[in-house]
């Protein structure tokens, strides 16, 4: 079912994209047909998808997510009808020609062909979630949104803990799963893939439509980019294209914003003004707005999009500033709209959080308890040496050392990666027409400044948000920096393809770059470490967990409102708690700091609930727990609590029963009755 649901919405996206791509009529349409104005439709699928996410967010905040999704589907159907009618009415074949010119391009092939191929590969593999944060937030959030047809901020009971995270990734997966009657992780991966390939399409569209060869090698560059920035040496497991984490999505979307902007500025470099400028701004703002709603770090990345696009516009309009006073106005306008969008999308979610959860988004989290602005201010102060703490200096030198020494991509350390990317920019510079070269310089410079800013932001996070130990060790450094390197690499590819369009040497240069990146990946990425080489053994543990969770869900029945589950997973580090929280959604799971290890009252330990056979009854009554889910049991638990189980725990030992119903006795003691479909019938 998940596959049908996915492809129906994939088709809906295609129809809506075609509708928007052939929307221009009259004079504009003629010029499109002739290819005179050169406005590419490559970015239309990306903008349509981002628009869908924004529409869903609006409906979601109003508490009508499902209605919003159906509205999108109905709009797509209406658009399909309009297209068919237009096709019938067009007698001279003009409409068909328009359709061919706008939609039969390599860019659209990459977008829809690539996403369909990825979806088929994933549907065959049927991967499950495996990584920590897929359970603690990304996957569980998407599951909760799908299960309840509502934004997780508006839910009353949910196992999701981090409810203040922005929702764009969960909404994206909702678009492609809401018609399905089961929640399949592969559909979420495929949904992320649609967005990724929509961006790749927009990037590839920067090479001219007729240049299939340049587009093909551009596609190769794009497809390899996530692997290139994730792999820090052979043998490392790679999650690119099959992860619920939003990091790659952030990097790709940032590049998408720049690609949309570059694509709408026209091939011949005629500076934008009037309606075309407004259209370009609207399209870029659409992508930038979604970027700000993916993750908190989307705000700095949205500002990077603003920086790059404003710099590009400045360079593009360069010769007019002396003659034309309105050129300055246009520049201010571009800057204001793009910076405003980034901040606005951040503020919208902050407002929603304040209304729905009464929580303050400006709080940056962490031990220091600073607001984002406060963090920035004290960070800049410390950087300048005013009241610099020892911790700041230590993290600062660790960050500098990591840039020089830590391997972050197939190209090597941060500095080598940056050098490679700058090399691609240099090729783009050499390839670009003379009048346009300052645009490449501005792009490279702006993205370089953006890198410095992002690096500084990351430093602040390590100093103020992470614990002292994690901050000093630069936890997940590669993953966080991978976001920017991915954007940077794709941005360089954008500049390269934009420069290569229509140049004889263009295709050869793109080919050489693709060969370079392919060689670097060949040496550092093993196919068996990517999702293509992963097999069912990788999901064995999660399969077992989901089976047991199904048992608990069956025990709770349709009206799960009165039931509450206590998970027993002895000596777990919290990971299994999150895994069950994901699998059990909507059934509430007891938690007080992920406690799921039951120990004797006098013992100490992480994630422990201190109980013995006498006190467990009172505890369960007080917490309203009605079901016991035995996941992992150790000898101590077995010895202490076995008498309370009516089957003497034989069900657990044989592996046939992991769910026990809590039966409170009248004398205050408690008994655990094994759950099977049969006993439950008698019970009722």
Residues lying near another protein in the complex (CB under 8 A) are found at: 121, 212-213, 216-217, 220, 233-236, 433-434, 502-504, 507-508, 511, 526-528, 532-538, 540-541, 543-545, 571, 631-632, 634-635, 638, 653
| DSSP codes of every residue in 23-64 | ---HHHHHHHHHTSS----TTHHHHHHHHHHHHHHHHHHTT-
**What is the per-residue burial (b if ≥16 Cβ within 10 Å, else e) of 331-343?**
beebbebbbebbe
C-beta of 224: minimal distance to another protein in Å?
A: 12
| DSSP codes of every residue in 404-448 | HHSEEETTEEHHHHHHHHHHHHHHHHHHS-GGGHHHHHHHHHHHH
For residues 569 and 609, which CB has a smaller minimum distance to another protein in the complex? 569
For residues 460 and 594, which CB has a smaller minimum distance to another protein in the complex? 594
Contacts of 428-436 with C-beta under 8 Å, sequence gap 24+, read: 428/492, 428/495, 428/496, 428/498, 428/499, 428/500, 429/499, 431/496, 431/499, 431/500, 431/503, 431/505, 431/506, 431/509, 432/498, 432/499, 433/269, 435/269, 436/269, 436/499
C-beta of 407: minimal distance to another protein in Å?
A: 13
For residues 623 and 653, which CB has a smaller minimum distance to another protein in the complex? 653
Q: 586 is written with which tokens?
A: 């909507």
Neighbours of 633 (CB within 10 A): 18
C-beta of 109: minimal distance to another protein in Å?
A: 11
Instruction: Label the pairing between strands 407-409 and 627-632.
Output: unpaired
C-beta of 320: minimal distance to another protein in Å?
A: 20
For residues 399 and 565, which CB has a smaller minimum distance to another protein in the complex? 565
For residues 19 and 135, which CB has a smaller minimum distance to another protein in the complex? 135
C-beta of 574: minimal distance to another protein in Å?
A: 14
Among residues 216, 79, 503, which one has the least CA distance to residue 71?
A: 79
C-beta of 74: minimal distance to another protein in Å?
A: 36
Q: Round to the nearest angstrom and report the end-to-end CA distance of the chain.
A: 33
C-beta of 453: minimal distance to another protein in Å?
A: 34
For residues 188 and 510, which CB has a smaller minimum distance to another protein in the complex? 510
Neighbour-count burial of 139, counting CB atoms closer than 10 A to its CB (0-12 exposed, 13-18 middle, 19+ buried): buried
Residue 188 phi/psi, 5° resolution? -65, -45
For 603, which DSSP code?
-
Q: How far apart are CA 594 and CA 581, in angstroms?
A: 10
C-beta of 19: minimal distance to another protein in Å?
A: 30
For residues 360 and 547, which CB has a smaller minimum distance to another protein in the complex? 547
Considering Cα of 72, then 76, then 77, then 78, what sign does the dihedral take? positive
Element housing 566 (H / E):
strand 565-569
Neighbours of 235 (CB within 10 A): 11
Q: How far apart are CA 163 and CA 141, in angstroms?
A: 8
For residues 317 and 529, which CB has a smaller minimum distance to another protein in the complex? 529
C-beta of 351: minimal distance to another protein in Å?
A: 42
Asked if residues 514 and 492 have their Cβ atoms less than 8 Å apart, the reply is no
Among residues 229, 218, 230, which one has the least CA distance to residue 259?
A: 218
C-beta of 85: minimal distance to another protein in Å?
A: 35
C-beta of 234: minimal distance to another protein in Å?
A: 5
C-beta of 281: minimal distance to another protein in Å?
A: 28
C-beta of 147: minimal distance to another protein in Å?
A: 25
C-beta of 626: minimal distance to another protein in Å?
A: 25
Asked if residues 449 and 307 have their Cβ atoms less than 8 Å apart, the reply is yes
Asked if residues 57 and 172 have their Cβ atoms less than 8 Å apart, the reply is no
Neighbours of 347 (CB within 10 A): 15
Q: 228 is written with which tokens?
A: 């290139």
Cα–chain center distance at 305 = 17
For residues 203 and 395, which CB has a smaller minimum distance to another protein in the complex? 203
The CA R_g of the chain, rounded to the nearest whole Å, is: 27
How far, in Å, are 132, 257, 563, 644 from residue 665 at the CA level?
39, 63, 18, 11
Neighbour-count burial of 641, counting CB atoms closer than 10 A to its CB (0-12 exposed, 13-18 middle, 19+ buried): buried
Among residues 304, 186, 199, 202, which one has the least CA distance to residue 249?
A: 199
For residues 131 and 476, which CB has a smaller minimum distance to another protein in the complex? 131
Neighbours of 271 (CB within 10 A): 18
For residues 134 and 631, which CB has a smaller minimum distance to another protein in the complex? 631
Asked if residues 312 and 444 have their Cβ atoms less than 8 Å apart, the reply is no
C-beta of 220: minimal distance to another protein in Å?
A: 6
Asked if residues 110 and 197 have their Cβ atoms less than 8 Å apart, the reply is yes
Neighbour-count burial of 58, counting CB atoms closer than 10 A to its CB (0-12 exposed, 13-18 middle, 19+ buried): exposed
For residues 131 and 626, which CB has a smaller minimum distance to another protein in the complex? 131
C-beta of 169: minimal distance to another protein in Å?
A: 25
C-beta of 496: minimal distance to another protein in Å?
A: 15
For residues 321 and 535, which CB has a smaller minimum distance to another protein in the complex? 535
For residues 74 and 234, which CB has a smaller minimum distance to another protein in the complex? 234
């Amino acid at each position: 079912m998940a596959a049908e649901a996915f492809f129906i919405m994939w088709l809906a996206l295609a129809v809506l994209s075609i509708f928007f791509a052939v929307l221009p009529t009259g004079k504009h349409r003629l010029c499109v047909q002739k290819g005179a104005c050169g406005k590419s439709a490559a970015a239309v699928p990306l903008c349509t998808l981002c628009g869908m996410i924004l529409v869903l967010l609006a409906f979601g905040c109003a508490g009508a997510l499902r209605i919003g999704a159906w509205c999108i589907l109905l709009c797509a159907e209406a658009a399909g009808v309009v297209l068919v009618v237009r096709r019938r009415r067009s007698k001279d074949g003009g409409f068909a020609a328009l359709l061919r010119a706008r939609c039969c391009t390599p860019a659209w092939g990459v977008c829809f062909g690539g996403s369909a191929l990825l979806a088929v590969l994933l549907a065959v593999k049927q991967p499950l979630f495996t990584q920590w944060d897929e359970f603690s937030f990304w996957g569980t959030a998407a599951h909760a949104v799908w299960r309840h047809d509502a934004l997780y901020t508006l839910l009353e009971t949910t196992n999701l803990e981090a409810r203040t995270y922005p929702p764009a990734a969960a909404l994206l997966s909702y678009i492609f799963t809401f018609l399905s009657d089961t929640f399949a992780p592969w559909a979420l991966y495929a949904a992320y893939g649609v967005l990724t390939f929509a961006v790749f399409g927009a990037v590839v569209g920067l090479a001219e439509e007729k240049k299939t060869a340049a587009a093909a090698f551009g596609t190769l560059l794009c497809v390899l980019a996530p692997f290139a920035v994730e792999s820090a040496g052979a043998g490392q497991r790679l999650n690119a294209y099959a992860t619920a984490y939003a990091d790659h999505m952030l990097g790709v979307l940032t590049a998408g914003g720049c690609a949309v902007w570059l694509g709408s500025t026209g091939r011949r470099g005629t500076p934008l003004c009037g309606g075309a400028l407004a259209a370009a701004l609207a399209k870029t703002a659409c992508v930038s707005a979604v970027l700000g709603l993916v993750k908190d770090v989307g705000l700095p990345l949205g500002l990077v999009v603003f920086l790059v696009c404003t710099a590009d516009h400045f360079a593009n309009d360069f010769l007019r500033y002396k003659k034309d006073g309105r050129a300055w106005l246009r520049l201010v306008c571009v800057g204001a709209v793009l910076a405003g969008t980034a901040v606005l999308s951040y503020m919208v979610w902050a407002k929603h959080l304040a209304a729905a959860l009464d929580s303050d988004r400006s709080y940056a989290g962490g031990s220091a308890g600073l607001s984002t602005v406060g963090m920035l201010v004290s960070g800049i102060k410390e950087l300048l040496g005013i009241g610099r703490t020892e911790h700041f200096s230590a993290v600062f030198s660790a960050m500098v050392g990591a840039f020089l020494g830590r391997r972050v991509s197939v190209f090597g350390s941060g500095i080598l990666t940056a050098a490679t990317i700058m090399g691609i920019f240099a090729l783009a510079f050499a390839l670009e027409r003379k009048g346009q070269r300052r645009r490449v310089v501005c792009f490279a410079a702006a993205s370089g400044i953006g890198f410095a800013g992002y690096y500084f932001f990351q430093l602040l996070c390590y100093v103020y948000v992470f614990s002292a130990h994690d901050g000093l060790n630069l936890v997940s450094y590669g993953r966080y920096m991978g976001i920017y390197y991915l954007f940077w690499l794709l941005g360089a590819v954008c500049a390269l393809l934009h420069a290569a369009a229509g140049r004889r040497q263009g295709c050869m240069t793109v080919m050489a770059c693709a060969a370079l990146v392919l060689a670097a990946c060949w040496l550092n990425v093993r196919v068996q470490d990517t999702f293509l080489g992963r097999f069912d053994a990788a999901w064995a543990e999660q399969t077992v967990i989901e089976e047991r969770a199904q048992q608990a869900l069956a025990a709770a029945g349709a009206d799960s409102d009165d039931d509450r589950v206590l998970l027993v997973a002895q000596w777990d580090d919290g990971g299994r708690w999150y895994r069950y929280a994901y699998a059990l959604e909507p059934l509430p799971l007891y938690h007080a700091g992920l406690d799921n290890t039951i120990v004797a009252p006098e013992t100490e330990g992480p994630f422990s609930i201190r109980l013995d056979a006498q006190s467990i009854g009172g505890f369960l009554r007080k917490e309203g727990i009605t079901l016991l889910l035995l996941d992992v049991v150790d000898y101590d638990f077995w010895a202490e609590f076995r008498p309370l189980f009516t089957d003497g725990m034989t069900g657990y030992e044989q592996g046939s029963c992991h769910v026990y119903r809590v039966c409170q006795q009248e004398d205050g003691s408690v008994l655990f009755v094994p759950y099977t479909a049969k006993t439950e019938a008698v019970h009722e």
